[in-house]
């Protein structure tokens, strides 16, 4: 089969990511082999290629989000069968520890992000991929493979951030940072699904317009020095109940300062840097909450797929690339040249 493999780290994806012929994996009794129809890009693909913040097993196949058709099932598998349309749940955990059995598999001490921390040669940028049965979720016929791959991890993560961690409620003022990113595009729609007043941010006019199309009530340019003042003006200086954050260092202190009394900032990333600061007076005088979120549960993924199937939440797809040219997606993501999710189709060279 064809797979996108890299065997060394480099800042330039085009130098190291190559399409190679490798063997189709042999599955274990509890695993499922999937003919991959679509794989979507995530920022952890770049971290893997760069070799930071952690080294990854080599040779490496990245890719956490796949959708496709079940090709083969192990002898212990009972929940899916050959021919089923499925999507991956990329959070690999032990499923038996106290954290996993209490519904917190994302906190499992043995947790790994499939396609990022796994390997050698175990990820989603390939024509056939294998996963444990518990990490395979069926999708309905009215969700396209492209939409399923695009929504799986970012949708699950966004749902976990807003519903589980931030405890979103109708009527709240919600600030979605980076509204045309993978998580941002879904964050806007989840907040509107909960009848909230949504303020989104984006880095240029095209992206700002797309935020409004997704349902945001207001949008500001977070690349402008006074962006946070504009947000405060929109709220009549009251601030916001929830900040949905994943940009990091360049916006984090201002985002914290925008919270109302008792407000919540939920963070799932830091693409502009990790070493941020906050004014601690906001923390104790306003009684704010700063919480983190990483991925989510299988149940949260299934919630997202339900709303996607019912057309209440729709992924924003930037481009669909043939597999032979899939490395272009890494370059586009690295340069910020995308609005929404980029997809590649491993069966189409």
Nearest Cα to Cα of residue 251 among 161, 146, 158, 179:
179
pTM score, whole prediction:
0.92
- Is cis: bond before 321, omega within 30 of 0? no
Question: Do the Cβ atoms of 345 and 323 come closer than 8 Å?
Answer: yes
The pair of three-digit structure tokens given for residue 244, joined into one six-digit string: 């949905």
Q: At what angle do helices 43-50 and 327-335 cross, to 10 degrees?
A: 100
CA dihedral 209, 215, 217, 219 (to 10 degrees): -30
What is the distance between the alpha carbons of residues 189 and 199, in angstroms, rounded to a whole number?
12
Contacts of 17 (CB under 8 A, 6+ apart): 4, 5, 6, 49, 326, 327, 330
Render each residue's pLDDT in the chain as its tens digit; 349 residues: 999 999 999 999 999 999 999 999 999 999 999 999 999 999 999 999 999 888 899 999 999 999 999 999 999 999 999 999 999 999 999 999 999 999 999 999 999 999 999 999 999 999 999 999 999 999 999 999 999 999 999 999 999 999 999 999 999 999 999 999 989 999 999 999 999 999 999 999 999 999 999 999 999 999 999 999 999 999 999 999 999 999 888 899 999 999 999 999 999 988 888 888 888 888 899 999 999 998 899 999 999 999 999 999 999 999 999 999 999 999 999 998 788 899 999 999 8
CA dihedral 304, 308, 314, 316 (to 10 degrees): 60
Contacts of 193 (CB under 8 A, 6+ apart): 307, 312, 313
List domains and CATH numbers for the chain. Answer: 2-138+316-345 (3.90.180.10), 156-292 (3.40.50.720)
Strands 259-267 and 197-202: unpaired
- Is cis: bond before 242, omega within 30 of 0? no
Q: What's 135's DSSP letter? A: G
Compute the Cα dihedral for 329, 334, 339, 341 and give only its sign: positive
Nearest Cα to Cα of residue 114 among 104, 122, 106:
122
């Amino acid at each position: 089969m064809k797979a996108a493999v890299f065997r060394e780290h480099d800042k330039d994806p085009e130098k190291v990511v190559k399409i190679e012929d490798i063997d189709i994996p042999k599955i274990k009794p509890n695993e499922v082999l999937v003919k991959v129809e679509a794989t979507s890009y995530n920022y952890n693909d770049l971290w893997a290629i760069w070799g930071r913040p952690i080294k990854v097993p080599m040779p490496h196949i990245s890719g956490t989000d796949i959708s496709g058709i079940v090709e083969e099932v192990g002898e212990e598998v009972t929940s899916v069968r050959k021919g089923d349309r499925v999507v991956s749940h990329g959070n690999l955990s032990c499923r038996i520890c106290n954290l996993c059995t209490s519904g917190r598999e994302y906190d499992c001490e043995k947790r790994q992000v499939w396609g990022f921390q796994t390997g050698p040669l175990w990820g989603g940028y390939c024509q056939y991929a294998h996963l444990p049965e518990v990490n395979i979720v069926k999708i309905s016929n009215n969700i396209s493979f492209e939409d399923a791959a695009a929504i799986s991890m970012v949708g699950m993560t966004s749902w976990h951030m807003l519903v589980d961690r931030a405890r979103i409620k109708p009527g709240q003022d919600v600030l979605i940072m980076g509204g045309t990113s993978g998580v941002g595009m879904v964050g806007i729609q989840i907040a509107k699904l909960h009848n909230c007043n949504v303020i989104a941010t984006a880095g240029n006019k095209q992206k700002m317009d797309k935020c409004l199309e997704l349902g945001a009530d207001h949008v500001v340019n977070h690349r402008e020095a006074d962006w946070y003042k504009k947000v405060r003006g929109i709220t009549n200086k009251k601030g916001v109940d929830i900040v949905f954050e994943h940009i990091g260092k360049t916006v984090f202190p201002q985002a914290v300062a925008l919270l109302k009394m008792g407000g919540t900032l939920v963070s799932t990333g830091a693409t502009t840097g990790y070493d941020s600061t906050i004014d601690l007076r906001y923390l104790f005088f306003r009684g704010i909450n700063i919480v983190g979120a990483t991925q989510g549960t299988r149940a949260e993924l299934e919630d997202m797929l339900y709303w996607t199937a019912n057309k209440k939440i729709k992924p924003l797809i930037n481009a669909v690339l043939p597999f032979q040219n899939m490395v272009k997606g890494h370059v586009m993501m690295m340069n910020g040249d995308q609005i929404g999710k980029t997809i590649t189709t491993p069966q189409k060279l």
